[in-house]
Amino acid sequence: MAQTRTTDVLITGAGPVGLSAAAELRRHGVSCRLVDLLPARLPYAKAVGIQPRTLEIWDRMGLARTVLEAAVELGGQLIYVNGREQARIAMELPPEVPYRFAALPQYETERLIEEYVAALGTVIERGTELLSFTQDADGVTSRLRTASGAEEELRTRYLIGCDGAHSTVRKGLGLAFEGGAFPEGYMLADVETDWDLPHGYAVRSTHYGADGAIDDVLVAVPLPGANRYRMTMRIPPELTAEPGEAGSGAPGRPVTGDGVEHGLERGGRVPDLSHIQAVVDRLAPAPTTLSTMRWSSVFRISHRIVDRYGDGRVFVAGDAAHIHPPTGAQGMNTGIQDACNLAWKLALVLRGAAGPALLAGYDAERRPVGEEVVGRTVRHASGPGFHDDSDDSGTVLLREAQLLVGYRGGPLAGSPYGPADAPQPGDRAPDCAGLTVPIAAYPLRLLDVLRGRTGHVALLYGADAADLAGAAAGTLAAQSRLPGLRTVAVLARDAAEEASGALDVPGYRDAAGEFARLYRPDGPTGFLVRPDGYLAARFALADTAAALSGYLTALSG
Protein backbone atom coordinates (compact mmCIF):
# COMPACT_ATOMS: atom_id res chain seq x y z
CA MET A 1 0.00 0.00 0.00
CA ALA A 2 1.38 3.39 -1.00
CA GLN A 3 1.88 5.86 1.84
CA THR A 4 1.84 9.60 1.21
CA ARG A 5 1.65 12.86 3.09
CA THR A 6 1.17 15.61 0.60
CA THR A 7 -1.47 17.87 2.05
CA ASP A 8 -2.84 19.45 5.22
CA VAL A 9 -6.52 18.51 4.86
CA LEU A 10 -8.38 15.63 3.22
CA ILE A 11 -11.96 16.41 2.17
CA THR A 12 -14.27 13.54 1.26
CA GLY A 13 -17.27 14.37 -0.91
CA ALA A 14 -17.14 16.80 -3.83
CA GLY A 15 -20.67 18.14 -3.71
CA PRO A 16 -21.31 21.84 -3.09
CA VAL A 17 -20.22 21.53 0.56
CA GLY A 18 -16.94 19.71 -0.06
CA LEU A 19 -16.13 22.01 -2.96
CA SER A 20 -16.83 25.05 -0.77
CA ALA A 21 -14.53 23.70 1.94
CA ALA A 22 -11.80 23.19 -0.65
CA ALA A 23 -12.35 26.66 -2.12
CA GLU A 24 -12.06 28.41 1.23
CA LEU A 25 -9.06 26.37 2.37
CA ARG A 26 -7.24 27.06 -0.89
CA ARG A 27 -8.09 30.76 -0.68
CA HIS A 28 -6.47 30.81 2.75
CA GLY A 29 -3.36 29.12 1.42
CA VAL A 30 -4.08 25.66 2.90
CA SER A 31 -3.26 22.61 0.82
CA CYS A 32 -5.98 19.98 0.52
CA ARG A 33 -7.04 16.91 -1.40
CA LEU A 34 -10.66 16.48 -2.48
CA VAL A 35 -11.91 12.95 -3.20
CA ASP A 36 -15.27 11.65 -4.33
CA LEU A 37 -16.51 8.12 -4.96
CA LEU A 38 -18.63 9.16 -7.95
CA PRO A 39 -16.91 9.00 -11.36
CA ALA A 40 -18.67 12.22 -12.47
CA ARG A 41 -21.17 14.83 -11.32
CA LEU A 42 -24.71 13.53 -11.08
CA PRO A 43 -26.89 15.15 -13.76
CA TYR A 44 -29.75 15.92 -11.36
CA ALA A 45 -31.17 19.26 -10.23
CA LYS A 46 -31.36 18.17 -6.61
CA ALA A 47 -30.57 21.20 -4.46
CA VAL A 48 -31.56 24.19 -6.59
CA GLY A 49 -32.23 27.13 -4.26
CA ILE A 50 -29.39 29.59 -3.61
CA GLN A 51 -29.92 31.91 -0.67
CA PRO A 52 -28.81 35.57 -0.55
CA ARG A 53 -26.40 34.80 2.29
CA THR A 54 -24.64 32.17 0.15
CA LEU A 55 -24.25 34.72 -2.63
CA GLU A 56 -22.64 37.10 -0.13
CA ILE A 57 -20.13 34.39 0.75
CA TRP A 58 -19.45 33.75 -2.92
CA ASP A 59 -19.01 37.48 -3.46
CA ARG A 60 -16.23 37.49 -0.85
CA MET A 61 -14.64 34.63 -2.85
CA GLY A 62 -15.07 36.42 -6.17
CA LEU A 63 -17.48 33.75 -7.44
CA ALA A 64 -20.84 35.55 -7.23
CA ARG A 65 -20.81 37.12 -10.70
CA THR A 66 -20.26 33.75 -12.36
CA VAL A 67 -23.24 32.31 -10.48
CA LEU A 68 -25.46 35.30 -11.29
CA GLU A 69 -24.83 34.80 -15.00
CA ALA A 70 -25.96 31.16 -14.78
CA ALA A 71 -28.85 31.28 -12.29
CA VAL A 72 -32.47 32.44 -12.48
CA GLU A 73 -34.09 34.75 -9.95
CA LEU A 74 -36.66 33.34 -7.53
CA GLY A 75 -39.02 36.27 -7.27
CA GLY A 76 -41.74 34.73 -5.16
CA GLN A 77 -44.00 31.83 -4.34
CA LEU A 78 -47.59 30.99 -5.22
CA ILE A 79 -49.42 29.02 -2.51
CA TYR A 80 -52.48 26.92 -3.32
CA VAL A 81 -54.55 24.82 -0.93
CA ASN A 82 -57.26 22.52 -2.26
CA GLY A 83 -57.20 24.28 -5.61
CA ARG A 84 -57.56 27.83 -4.30
CA GLU A 85 -54.85 30.46 -4.14
CA GLN A 86 -54.01 31.22 -0.51
CA ALA A 87 -51.03 33.51 -0.88
CA ARG A 88 -48.85 35.20 -3.48
CA ILE A 89 -45.57 35.97 -1.76
CA ALA A 90 -43.15 38.39 -3.36
CA MET A 91 -39.76 37.46 -1.91
CA GLU A 92 -38.62 41.04 -1.43
CA LEU A 93 -35.73 41.86 0.87
CA PRO A 94 -34.60 45.24 2.27
CA PRO A 95 -32.76 47.35 -0.32
CA GLU A 96 -29.46 47.13 1.58
CA VAL A 97 -29.33 43.34 1.01
CA PRO A 98 -27.16 43.00 -2.09
CA TYR A 99 -28.55 39.75 -3.48
CA ARG A 100 -31.94 38.16 -3.99
CA PHE A 101 -33.07 34.53 -4.03
CA ALA A 102 -31.87 32.43 -6.97
CA ALA A 103 -32.16 28.94 -8.44
CA LEU A 104 -29.56 26.86 -10.23
CA PRO A 105 -29.39 23.09 -10.76
CA GLN A 106 -26.99 21.46 -8.31
CA TYR A 107 -24.80 20.05 -11.06
CA GLU A 108 -24.27 23.59 -12.39
CA THR A 109 -23.44 24.89 -8.92
CA GLU A 110 -20.92 22.08 -8.57
CA ARG A 111 -19.43 22.80 -11.99
CA LEU A 112 -18.88 26.48 -11.21
CA ILE A 113 -17.25 25.85 -7.83
CA GLU A 114 -15.21 22.97 -9.26
CA GLU A 115 -13.77 25.28 -11.92
CA TYR A 116 -13.02 27.87 -9.24
CA VAL A 117 -11.23 25.30 -7.06
CA ALA A 118 -9.30 23.89 -10.03
CA ALA A 119 -7.99 27.39 -10.76
CA LEU A 120 -6.63 27.42 -7.20
CA GLY A 121 -4.79 24.16 -7.79
CA THR A 122 -7.06 21.43 -6.42
CA VAL A 123 -8.73 18.92 -8.76
CA ILE A 124 -11.36 16.42 -7.67
CA GLU A 125 -9.98 12.88 -7.44
CA ARG A 126 -12.99 11.02 -8.77
CA GLY A 127 -13.70 7.35 -8.24
CA THR A 128 -11.76 7.52 -4.98
CA GLU A 129 -13.28 6.04 -1.83
CA LEU A 130 -12.42 6.63 1.81
CA LEU A 131 -12.26 3.14 3.30
CA SER A 132 -11.32 3.98 6.88
CA PHE A 133 -9.35 6.40 9.03
CA THR A 134 -7.66 6.67 12.39
CA GLN A 135 -6.46 9.75 14.22
CA ASP A 136 -3.90 10.57 16.88
CA ALA A 137 -2.57 13.69 18.55
CA ASP A 138 -0.66 14.79 15.45
CA GLY A 139 -2.89 13.93 12.52
CA VAL A 140 -5.18 11.57 10.64
CA THR A 141 -4.27 8.45 8.69
CA SER A 142 -6.78 7.61 5.95
CA ARG A 143 -7.06 4.53 3.75
CA LEU A 144 -8.20 5.37 0.22
CA ARG A 145 -9.07 3.21 -2.77
CA THR A 146 -8.44 5.07 -6.02
CA ALA A 147 -10.25 4.74 -9.34
CA SER A 148 -7.63 2.21 -10.48
CA GLY A 149 -8.39 -0.02 -7.51
CA ALA A 150 -5.08 0.68 -5.80
CA GLU A 151 -5.08 1.44 -2.09
CA GLU A 152 -3.27 4.41 -0.60
CA GLU A 153 -2.52 5.42 2.98
CA LEU A 154 -2.65 9.19 3.36
CA ARG A 155 -1.41 11.13 6.36
CA THR A 156 -2.96 14.59 6.86
CA ARG A 157 -3.37 17.08 9.67
CA TYR A 158 -7.20 17.11 9.44
CA LEU A 159 -10.10 15.30 7.76
CA ILE A 160 -13.45 16.85 6.76
CA GLY A 161 -16.39 14.60 5.90
CA CYS A 162 -18.67 16.26 3.36
CA ASP A 163 -19.75 12.82 2.15
CA GLY A 164 -23.50 13.12 2.50
CA ALA A 165 -26.31 11.48 4.41
CA HIS A 166 -24.58 8.08 4.45
CA SER A 167 -21.24 9.55 5.52
CA THR A 168 -18.31 7.20 6.06
CA VAL A 169 -16.63 9.88 8.17
CA ARG A 170 -19.65 10.26 10.47
CA LYS A 171 -19.85 6.50 10.94
CA GLY A 172 -16.11 6.25 11.53
CA LEU A 173 -16.36 8.84 14.31
CA GLY A 174 -19.28 6.98 15.85
CA LEU A 175 -21.44 10.10 15.94
CA ALA A 176 -25.08 9.75 16.90
CA PHE A 177 -27.45 10.72 14.07
CA GLU A 178 -30.82 10.83 15.73
CA GLY A 179 -34.09 11.59 13.97
CA GLY A 180 -36.61 9.88 11.76
CA ALA A 181 -37.95 9.52 8.24
CA PHE A 182 -41.07 10.78 6.50
CA PRO A 183 -43.29 7.82 5.64
CA GLU A 184 -44.01 9.02 2.10
CA GLY A 185 -41.80 8.48 -0.90
CA TYR A 186 -41.38 11.35 -3.37
CA MET A 187 -40.63 11.93 -7.03
CA LEU A 188 -38.38 14.54 -8.56
CA ALA A 189 -38.49 15.59 -12.19
CA ASP A 190 -36.95 18.27 -14.39
CA VAL A 191 -39.61 19.29 -16.92
CA GLU A 192 -40.96 22.14 -19.02
CA THR A 193 -44.51 23.49 -18.82
CA ASP A 194 -46.73 25.62 -21.02
CA TRP A 195 -48.55 27.40 -18.21
CA ASP A 196 -48.69 31.19 -18.00
CA LEU A 197 -47.65 31.84 -14.40
CA PRO A 198 -45.53 34.77 -13.19
CA HIS A 199 -41.92 34.42 -14.26
CA GLY A 200 -39.56 33.35 -11.50
CA TYR A 201 -42.29 32.26 -9.07
CA ALA A 202 -42.24 28.87 -7.37
CA VAL A 203 -45.49 26.98 -6.87
CA ARG A 204 -46.57 25.01 -3.80
CA SER A 205 -49.95 23.33 -4.13
CA THR A 206 -51.29 21.02 -1.42
CA HIS A 207 -54.48 19.08 -0.93
CA TYR A 208 -55.92 18.28 2.48
CA GLY A 209 -58.07 15.21 2.95
CA ALA A 210 -61.15 14.82 5.13
CA ASP A 211 -58.94 14.01 8.12
CA GLY A 212 -57.20 17.37 7.86
CA ALA A 213 -53.87 15.90 6.75
CA ILE A 214 -52.04 16.63 3.50
CA ASP A 215 -52.67 13.81 1.05
CA ASP A 216 -51.29 15.35 -2.15
CA VAL A 217 -48.58 17.91 -2.86
CA LEU A 218 -46.85 19.57 -5.80
CA VAL A 219 -43.82 21.86 -5.52
CA ALA A 220 -42.43 23.46 -8.68
CA VAL A 221 -39.25 25.56 -8.57
CA PRO A 222 -38.21 27.51 -11.68
CA LEU A 223 -34.87 26.68 -13.28
CA PRO A 224 -32.85 28.50 -15.94
CA GLY A 225 -34.59 28.10 -19.28
CA ALA A 226 -38.01 28.86 -20.69
CA ASN A 227 -40.78 27.47 -18.45
CA ARG A 228 -38.41 24.90 -16.96
CA TYR A 229 -39.12 23.63 -13.42
CA ARG A 230 -37.83 21.10 -10.90
CA MET A 231 -41.00 19.43 -9.63
CA THR A 232 -41.49 17.46 -6.43
CA MET A 233 -44.52 15.31 -5.55
CA ARG A 234 -45.49 12.15 -3.73
CA ILE A 235 -44.82 8.83 -5.38
CA PRO A 236 -47.89 7.04 -6.81
CA PRO A 237 -48.79 3.49 -5.72
CA GLU A 238 -47.69 1.95 -9.02
CA LEU A 239 -44.11 3.05 -8.36
CA THR A 240 -44.00 1.69 -4.83
CA ALA A 241 -41.21 -0.85 -4.53
CA GLU A 242 -42.17 -4.35 -3.45
CA PRO A 243 -40.18 -6.08 -0.70
CA GLY A 244 -36.92 -7.42 -2.10
CA GLU A 245 -36.88 -4.99 -5.01
CA ALA A 246 -35.16 -1.59 -5.18
CA GLY A 247 -35.95 -0.67 -1.62
CA SER A 248 -35.13 -2.16 1.75
CA GLY A 249 -38.56 -3.67 2.21
CA ALA A 250 -40.52 -0.42 2.40
CA PRO A 251 -41.96 1.81 -0.33
CA GLY A 252 -39.37 3.61 -2.40
CA ARG A 253 -36.54 3.31 0.10
CA PRO A 254 -33.03 3.66 -1.25
CA VAL A 255 -30.62 0.82 -0.62
CA THR A 256 -28.18 2.11 2.00
CA GLY A 257 -27.65 -0.53 4.66
CA ASP A 258 -27.22 2.13 7.36
CA GLY A 259 -30.85 2.80 8.27
CA VAL A 260 -30.74 6.37 6.96
CA GLU A 261 -33.51 6.66 4.39
CA HIS A 262 -32.57 9.86 2.61
CA GLY A 263 -31.75 10.79 -0.94
CA LEU A 264 -32.28 9.58 -4.48
CA GLU A 265 -33.12 5.93 -5.01
CA ARG A 266 -30.45 3.99 -6.85
CA GLY A 267 -31.99 1.69 -9.40
CA GLY A 268 -35.59 0.58 -9.17
CA ARG A 269 -38.54 2.12 -10.96
CA VAL A 270 -38.15 5.58 -12.44
CA PRO A 271 -41.13 7.92 -12.93
CA ASP A 272 -41.99 8.71 -16.53
CA LEU A 273 -43.63 11.86 -17.82
CA SER A 274 -47.13 10.42 -17.37
CA HIS A 275 -46.59 10.01 -13.61
CA ILE A 276 -45.59 13.65 -13.30
CA GLN A 277 -48.38 14.83 -15.58
CA ALA A 278 -50.98 13.03 -13.49
CA VAL A 279 -50.02 14.97 -10.36
CA VAL A 280 -49.86 18.24 -12.29
CA ASP A 281 -53.35 17.59 -13.66
CA ARG A 282 -54.65 17.30 -10.10
CA LEU A 283 -52.77 20.14 -8.43
CA ALA A 284 -51.43 22.67 -10.94
CA PRO A 285 -52.98 26.15 -10.61
CA ALA A 286 -53.60 26.22 -14.37
CA PRO A 287 -53.99 23.47 -16.98
CA THR A 288 -50.62 22.63 -18.51
CA THR A 289 -48.98 20.02 -20.66
CA LEU A 290 -45.52 18.92 -19.57
CA SER A 291 -42.69 18.20 -21.97
CA THR A 292 -38.92 17.76 -22.23
CA MET A 293 -38.33 15.72 -19.09
CA ARG A 294 -34.56 15.79 -18.66
CA TRP A 295 -34.51 13.33 -15.76
CA SER A 296 -36.66 11.92 -12.94
CA SER A 297 -36.11 9.93 -9.79
CA VAL A 298 -37.63 8.64 -6.59
CA PHE A 299 -36.27 9.84 -3.27
CA ARG A 300 -36.87 9.67 0.45
CA ILE A 301 -36.65 12.34 3.15
CA SER A 302 -35.32 11.97 6.68
CA HIS A 303 -34.61 14.48 9.43
CA ARG A 304 -31.53 13.88 11.54
CA ILE A 305 -28.64 15.75 13.14
CA VAL A 306 -25.39 14.62 14.69
CA ASP A 307 -24.69 14.99 18.40
CA ARG A 308 -21.48 16.90 17.59
CA TYR A 309 -19.88 18.28 14.43
CA GLY A 310 -16.48 16.73 14.98
CA ASP A 311 -14.11 14.88 17.21
CA GLY A 312 -10.43 15.71 17.52
CA ARG A 313 -9.01 16.33 14.06
CA VAL A 314 -12.03 15.03 12.13
CA PHE A 315 -15.15 17.04 11.27
CA VAL A 316 -18.43 16.63 9.39
CA ALA A 317 -20.34 19.24 7.38
CA GLY A 318 -23.47 19.46 5.26
CA ASP A 319 -25.62 16.34 4.89
CA ALA A 320 -23.04 14.35 6.82
CA ALA A 321 -24.07 16.43 9.84
CA HIS A 322 -27.74 17.30 9.21
CA ILE A 323 -30.48 16.14 6.85
CA HIS A 324 -34.03 17.43 6.62
CA PRO A 325 -36.84 18.23 4.16
CA PRO A 326 -35.88 20.50 1.23
CA THR A 327 -38.49 23.07 2.28
CA GLY A 328 -37.13 26.57 1.81
CA ALA A 329 -33.92 25.38 0.13
CA GLN A 330 -31.99 25.38 3.40
CA GLY A 331 -29.85 22.23 3.21
CA MET A 332 -27.14 22.99 0.65
CA ASN A 333 -26.85 26.59 1.79
CA THR A 334 -26.50 25.57 5.43
CA GLY A 335 -23.82 23.07 4.44
CA ILE A 336 -21.88 25.66 2.44
CA GLN A 337 -21.84 27.91 5.48
CA ASP A 338 -20.70 24.98 7.64
CA ALA A 339 -17.73 24.57 5.30
CA CYS A 340 -16.81 28.26 5.29
CA ASN A 341 -17.12 28.53 9.07
CA LEU A 342 -14.73 25.61 9.54
CA ALA A 343 -12.25 26.48 6.80
CA TRP A 344 -11.02 29.84 8.09
CA LYS A 345 -10.61 28.41 11.58
CA LEU A 346 -8.59 25.48 10.27
CA ALA A 347 -6.43 27.90 8.29
CA LEU A 348 -5.57 29.95 11.38
CA VAL A 349 -4.76 26.86 13.42
CA LEU A 350 -2.60 25.43 10.64
CA ARG A 351 -0.69 28.73 10.44
CA GLY A 352 -0.11 28.67 14.19
CA ALA A 353 -2.09 31.88 14.64
CA ALA A 354 -4.76 30.21 16.80
CA GLY A 355 -4.94 27.33 19.22
CA PRO A 356 -6.76 24.04 18.58
CA ALA A 357 -9.51 25.21 20.93
CA LEU A 358 -10.67 27.51 18.12
CA LEU A 359 -11.90 24.46 16.27
CA ALA A 360 -14.32 23.66 19.10
CA GLY A 361 -16.07 26.85 18.04
CA TYR A 362 -17.17 25.13 14.84
CA ASP A 363 -19.55 22.85 16.73
CA ALA A 364 -20.52 25.60 19.17
CA GLU A 365 -21.53 27.95 16.34
CA ARG A 366 -22.86 25.65 13.65
CA ARG A 367 -24.71 22.85 15.46
CA PRO A 368 -27.35 25.21 16.93
CA VAL A 369 -27.90 26.49 13.39
CA GLY A 370 -28.32 22.93 12.13
CA GLU A 371 -30.77 22.11 14.91
CA GLU A 372 -32.88 25.17 14.11
CA VAL A 373 -32.91 24.41 10.37
CA VAL A 374 -33.91 20.77 10.90
CA GLY A 375 -36.73 21.73 13.25
CA ARG A 376 -38.02 24.54 11.04
CA THR A 377 -37.98 22.59 7.77
CA VAL A 378 -39.78 19.63 9.37
CA ARG A 379 -42.43 22.01 10.71
CA HIS A 380 -42.88 23.74 7.36
CA ALA A 381 -42.93 20.48 5.42
CA SER A 382 -45.96 19.41 7.46
CA GLY A 383 -47.98 22.47 6.43
CA PRO A 384 -48.60 24.71 3.43
CA GLY A 385 -45.10 26.18 3.63
CA PHE A 386 -43.13 28.90 5.36
CA HIS A 387 -45.81 31.53 4.72
CA ASP A 388 -47.75 30.25 7.75
CA ASP A 389 -44.88 31.11 10.12
CA SER A 390 -46.01 33.11 13.13
CA ASP A 391 -43.40 35.82 12.54
CA ASP A 392 -44.03 38.81 10.27
CA SER A 393 -43.32 38.26 6.57
CA GLY A 394 -40.17 40.38 6.57
CA THR A 395 -38.60 38.35 9.36
CA VAL A 396 -39.63 35.09 7.70
CA LEU A 397 -37.92 36.05 4.44
CA LEU A 398 -34.78 37.23 6.20
CA ARG A 399 -34.65 33.90 8.03
CA GLU A 400 -35.21 31.89 4.84
CA ALA A 401 -32.47 33.97 3.19
CA GLN A 402 -30.21 32.87 6.09
CA LEU A 403 -29.47 36.51 6.88
CA LEU A 404 -30.51 36.08 10.53
CA VAL A 405 -27.98 33.33 11.28
CA GLY A 406 -25.71 34.59 14.03
CA TYR A 407 -23.38 33.58 16.84
CA ARG A 408 -24.11 36.03 19.65
CA GLY A 409 -23.00 34.55 22.93
CA GLY A 410 -20.66 32.16 21.14
CA PRO A 411 -17.04 31.52 22.08
CA LEU A 412 -15.74 34.14 19.62
CA ALA A 413 -18.32 36.86 20.17
CA GLY A 414 -16.86 39.79 22.08
CA SER A 415 -18.74 42.00 24.52
CA PRO A 416 -21.61 44.12 23.16
CA TYR A 417 -20.94 47.80 22.65
CA GLY A 418 -23.24 50.62 21.60
CA PRO A 419 -27.01 50.39 20.99
CA ALA A 420 -28.43 47.00 21.92
CA ASP A 421 -30.35 46.74 18.63
CA ALA A 422 -27.28 47.59 16.51
CA PRO A 423 -25.16 44.86 14.89
CA GLN A 424 -23.16 43.22 17.68
CA PRO A 425 -20.38 40.62 17.86
CA GLY A 426 -21.67 37.37 16.43
CA ASP A 427 -24.09 39.07 14.01
CA ARG A 428 -23.76 39.11 10.24
CA ALA A 429 -21.83 42.17 9.10
CA PRO A 430 -24.38 44.04 6.94
CA ASP A 431 -23.45 45.17 3.48
CA CYS A 432 -24.01 48.83 2.66
CA ALA A 433 -23.82 51.07 -0.39
CA GLY A 434 -22.55 54.58 -0.99
CA LEU A 435 -18.86 54.31 -0.04
CA THR A 436 -16.67 56.62 -2.12
CA VAL A 437 -13.00 57.28 -2.77
CA PRO A 438 -11.70 60.30 -4.71
CA ILE A 439 -10.19 58.25 -7.53
CA ALA A 440 -13.35 56.27 -8.33
CA ALA A 441 -16.15 58.09 -10.15
CA TYR A 442 -18.75 55.69 -8.79
CA PRO A 443 -19.81 54.60 -5.27
CA LEU A 444 -18.82 51.21 -3.86
CA ARG A 445 -20.49 48.69 -1.59
CA LEU A 446 -18.86 47.31 1.52
CA LEU A 447 -18.76 43.96 -0.27
CA ASP A 448 -16.52 45.59 -2.88
CA VAL A 449 -14.12 46.57 -0.09
CA LEU A 450 -14.12 43.07 1.42
CA ARG A 451 -14.03 41.08 -1.84
CA GLY A 452 -11.00 38.84 -2.24
CA ARG A 453 -9.75 39.33 1.30
CA THR A 454 -9.15 36.11 3.21
CA GLY A 455 -8.37 37.48 6.65
CA HIS A 456 -10.11 39.61 9.24
CA VAL A 457 -10.86 43.24 8.39
CA ALA A 458 -10.88 46.05 10.95
CA LEU A 459 -13.38 48.77 9.96
CA LEU A 460 -12.63 52.00 11.80
CA TYR A 461 -15.43 54.59 11.69
CA GLY A 462 -15.03 58.24 12.61
CA ALA A 463 -14.79 61.83 11.40
CA ASP A 464 -11.49 62.88 12.94
CA ALA A 465 -8.27 61.87 11.18
CA ALA A 466 -6.35 61.79 14.45
CA ASP A 467 -8.85 59.38 16.03
CA LEU A 468 -8.70 57.12 12.99
CA ALA A 469 -4.91 57.24 12.78
CA GLY A 470 -4.60 56.36 16.46
CA ALA A 471 -6.96 53.43 16.08
CA ALA A 472 -5.12 52.24 12.98
CA ALA A 473 -1.88 52.27 14.97
CA GLY A 474 -3.64 50.10 17.52
CA THR A 475 -4.16 47.41 14.91
CA LEU A 476 -0.44 47.04 14.18
CA ALA A 477 0.27 44.68 17.07
CA ALA A 478 -2.70 42.54 16.08
CA GLN A 479 -1.51 42.35 12.46
CA SER A 480 1.66 40.57 13.55
CA ARG A 481 -0.39 37.93 15.38
CA LEU A 482 -3.36 37.60 13.03
CA PRO A 483 -2.35 36.69 9.46
CA GLY A 484 -4.24 38.55 6.77
CA LEU A 485 -5.67 41.25 9.05
CA ARG A 486 -6.38 44.41 7.07
CA THR A 487 -7.41 47.82 8.36
CA VAL A 488 -9.86 50.11 6.53
CA ALA A 489 -11.10 53.51 7.63
CA VAL A 490 -14.72 54.49 7.00
CA LEU A 491 -14.98 58.27 7.20
CA ALA A 492 -18.21 59.81 8.40
CA ARG A 493 -20.09 62.03 5.95
CA ASP A 494 -19.02 65.16 7.84
CA ALA A 495 -15.32 64.25 7.88
CA ALA A 496 -13.02 66.83 6.37
CA GLU A 497 -12.05 66.25 2.74
CA GLU A 498 -8.37 65.94 3.61
CA ALA A 499 -8.99 63.37 6.38
CA SER A 500 -8.47 60.31 4.18
CA GLY A 501 -5.19 61.72 2.87
CA ALA A 502 -3.86 61.92 6.42
CA LEU A 503 -4.27 58.18 6.99
CA ASP A 504 -1.83 55.34 6.38
CA VAL A 505 -4.68 52.91 5.70
CA PRO A 506 -7.29 52.82 2.91
CA GLY A 507 -10.10 55.28 3.55
CA TYR A 508 -13.68 55.25 2.23
CA ARG A 509 -16.19 58.02 2.83
CA ASP A 510 -19.65 57.04 4.01
CA ALA A 511 -21.06 59.48 1.45
CA ALA A 512 -24.60 58.11 1.52
CA GLY A 513 -24.66 57.64 5.29
CA GLU A 514 -25.55 53.99 4.79
CA PHE A 515 -22.75 52.63 6.94
CA ALA A 516 -23.81 54.85 9.83
CA ARG A 517 -27.48 53.90 9.37
CA LEU A 518 -26.87 50.14 9.33
CA TYR A 519 -23.98 49.82 11.79
CA ARG A 520 -25.18 52.56 14.16
CA PRO A 521 -21.75 53.53 15.50
CA ASP A 522 -21.71 55.07 18.97
CA GLY A 523 -19.32 57.91 18.13
CA PRO A 524 -15.91 56.84 16.79
CA THR A 525 -16.36 53.06 16.63
CA GLY A 526 -14.41 50.09 15.38
CA PHE A 527 -15.71 46.80 13.95
CA LEU A 528 -13.73 43.62 13.38
CA VAL A 529 -15.16 41.47 10.57
CA ARG A 530 -14.34 37.75 10.49
CA PRO A 531 -13.31 35.98 7.27
CA ASP A 532 -16.83 34.50 7.00
CA GLY A 533 -18.50 37.92 7.17
CA TYR A 534 -19.61 37.99 10.82
CA LEU A 535 -18.70 40.63 13.38
CA ALA A 536 -16.00 39.45 15.78
CA ALA A 537 -15.82 42.63 17.86
CA ARG A 538 -17.34 46.10 18.22
CA PHE A 539 -15.49 48.71 20.25
CA ALA A 540 -14.72 52.38 20.85
CA LEU A 541 -11.87 53.56 18.64
CA ALA A 542 -9.93 54.59 21.72
CA ASP A 543 -10.03 50.94 22.85
CA THR A 544 -8.90 49.42 19.55
CA ALA A 545 -5.69 47.80 20.80
CA ALA A 546 -7.36 46.31 23.89
CA ALA A 547 -10.37 45.03 21.94
CA LEU A 548 -8.23 43.28 19.34
CA SER A 549 -5.98 41.85 22.04
CA GLY A 550 -9.04 40.39 23.75
CA TYR A 551 -10.19 38.79 20.53
CA LEU A 552 -6.74 37.31 19.91
CA THR A 553 -6.88 35.80 23.40
CA ALA A 554 -10.20 34.15 22.47
CA LEU A 555 -8.63 32.76 19.29
CA SER A 556 -5.74 31.25 21.17
CA GLY A 557 -8.13 29.47 23.51
pLDDT tens, 75-94?
999 999 999 999 999 999 99
Q: How many CB atoms lie within 10 A of CB 524?
A: 19
Q: Are the CB atoms for 461 and 525 separated by under 8 Å?
A: yes
The answer to whether the predicted template modeling score (pTM) of the entire model surpasses 0.85 is: yes
Q: How far is CA 230 from CA 31, 155, 293, 327, 496, in A?
A: 37, 42, 10, 13, 55
> Sorting pLDDT into bands at 50, 70 and 90, what band is 253?
very low
Check whether 302 has a pLDDT greater than 70. yes
> Sorting pLDDT into bands at 50, 70 and 90, what band is 257?
low
Average pLDDT of the chain is 90
> Sorting pLDDT into bands at 50, 70 and 90, what band is 301?
confident
Q: Are strands 201-208 and 2-4 parallel, antiparallel or unpaired?
A: unpaired
Q: What is the pLDDT of residues 131-185, one digit of tens each?
A: 999 999 999 999 999 999 999 999 999 999 999 999 999 999 999 998 888 878 8
Alpha helices in 352-411 (DSSP H): 360-381, 393-400
The three-class DSSP label of residue 426 is coil
Order across the sheet with 49-50: list the strands. 49-50, 102-103, 72-73
Q: What is the pLDDT of residues 185-219, one digit of tens each?
A: 889 999 999 998 998 999 999 999 989 888 899 99
Check whether 556 has a pLDDT greater than 70. yes
d(CA 333, CA 331): 5
Q: Are strands 49-50 and 177-181 parallel, antiparallel or unpaired?
A: unpaired
Please give, one letter per residue, the 3-state secondary structure of 211-249.
CCCEEEEEEEEECCCCCEEEEEEECCHHHCCCCCCCCCC
d(CA 97, CA 426): 18
Q: Are the CB atoms for 488 and 460 separated by under 8 Å?
A: yes
CB within 8 A of 459, min separation 6: which ones? 488, 490, 526, 527, 528, 529
The three-class DSSP label of residue 183 is coil
